[in-house]
Amino acid sequence: MKKWSKAARKMVPVIVIASLVFAAAGAAFFAFISKTDSVNAIAFASGVVLLGFFNVFKVYLIERAVRKAVTLTSPDEARNYIRLQSLMRLGLTAAALGVAALIFLTLDKRFDDSHKHLAFTFGESGVVGACAGVITFQIAAFSLRFMDIQEDEEEGDAP
């Protein structure tokens, strides 16, 4: 595998850390605030981790798309290729959320009805966790700007 860019090497740890923070926050929410059973916390954390790993895969897809776009001869071809890849990643994200919802809501039906009195069911907790996992990519992308500003200031290039 080729070496990842500087931006990708910065994004992956941010995705992992954000996933861990969301998983811990979800576990704390379900344990102390919602007062539900630990199964919901596990479902939430599973959803976050599942989509967090998917976001690392999306970083790889972006790297691959940029490497390919740079080799294209025409700027219009490169622009269209990047746009197509962006749409494909968006579709993959929607598919991953759909699969997560299918998995968690199907597993939810395997439990008995004794947990139906809870504010959240196992399936709902997992789907919410998956949605939180999707957000980790946006957090990582947004944090790149702040990391770049900090580097510029350290190098003395910032105004």
Q: pLDDT for 85-130, tens place per residue? A: 999 999 999 999 988 888 887 776 655 555 555 556 777 788 888 9
Q: What's the CA gap between 152 and 1, in Å, rounded?
A: 29
Q: How many residues does the chain have?
A: 159
Nearest alpha carbon to residue 103 among 21, 32, 46: 46
pLDDT for residue 159: 42
Q: What's the CA gap between 38 and 83, in Å, rounded?
A: 42
pTM greater than the 0.85 cutoff: no
With residue 134 as reference, give the H or E element that holds it: helix 122-155
pLDDT for residue 105: 78
Radius of gyration of the chain (CA): 19
Q: What's the CA gap between 112 and 119, in Å, rounded?
A: 16
* Residue 104 structure tokens: 């968690």
